[in-house]
Amino acid sequence: MTVKRTPVGDFLAMRAQTWPEAVTPTAELMVRIYRLSSLVLDQSRAQAAAHGLGFTEFEVLVTLRGQPAPHELLPTDLYGAILISSGGLTKVLHGLQARGLIGRGQSKDDRRSKPVRLTAKGRALAERAMRDVLSADDKLVHGALSASELTQLIRLVGKLLHVVEPGGPDSNQTQLQSPGGKAERTHSDTSGRSSAALTPIKRRMT
């Protein structure tokens, strides 16, 4: 059953009336990021499903496809390379191998480690599915943003991620600019998201 979601603008307008201190500029940004991420992931899941893939299966295949030939990674490296969700990866790998989409090799350095390698069949499927995902994303983005706006948004989101993403130059303490222009220090939680950015809102997403 499809659940009709309250538009973010309406949600924030109501919260501004009932809980104004919870609607800061940072909160407004994060709520919109949560919703956008949720909608885009729903769309990508639907595209992957049209090719007979669960979303984690899709991620495994395209992650391997993005590696240099012969398109393989050790399972431990695959966990870290997957962009969104690596939950239940062992089961996913078994399923993909049974379908002939990946194979398991033998590491030259460690006989106990078996690299996960994309097969020709898996590569072809990954490319078809990714083509449809990218097409859907293009329609979504270019229907709302000009080329210059997209370039600016990429730069700004990249700038934010450069600071808050684990391994960034200041991932434990993030310096944010307050609405009044004064810099303030905020501690990050374990997910790398600044505590000043957190709101009581939890998206449905992942």
* Whether residue 70 has a cis bond before it, omega within 30° of 0: yes
Amino acid identity of residue 130, one-letter, is M
What are the φ and ψ backbone dihedral angles of 77, each rounded to 5 degrees? Answer: -75, -30
pLDDT of 88 reads 85
Q: In sequence order, which ranges of the chain are alpha helices (DSSP H)?
A: 8-18, 25-49, 55-65, 75-81, 89-98, 120-142, 147-164
Helix axes 8-18, 25-49, angle to 10 degrees: 150
Return the closest-CA partner of residue 51 out of 125, 109, 112, 144: 125
Cα torsion for 45, 140, 83, 202, to the nearest 10°? -80
Q: Report the amino acid identity of residue 183.
A: A
pLDDT at 176: 43
Residue 169: its pLDDT value, please?
A: 57
Measured distance CA(145)–CA(140) in Å, rounded: 9
pLDDT score recorded for residue 80: 87
Phi, psi of 105, deg, nearest 5: -95, -165
pLDDT at 197: 34
Query: With helix as H, strand as E and coil as C, how does 168-205 read?
Result: CCCCCEEEEECCCCCEEEEEECCCCCEHHHCCCCCCCC
Mean pLDDT by 10 residues, the chain (206 residues): 84 96 96 94 96 96 96 92 78 96 79 85 98 96 96 96 76 44 39 34 34
- Whether this prediction's pTM lies above 0.85 is answered by no
Q: How far apart are the first and last CA of the chain?
A: 19
Tell me the C-alpha distance between 64 and 116, whole Å: 8
- Locate tokens 């009336």: which residue? 17
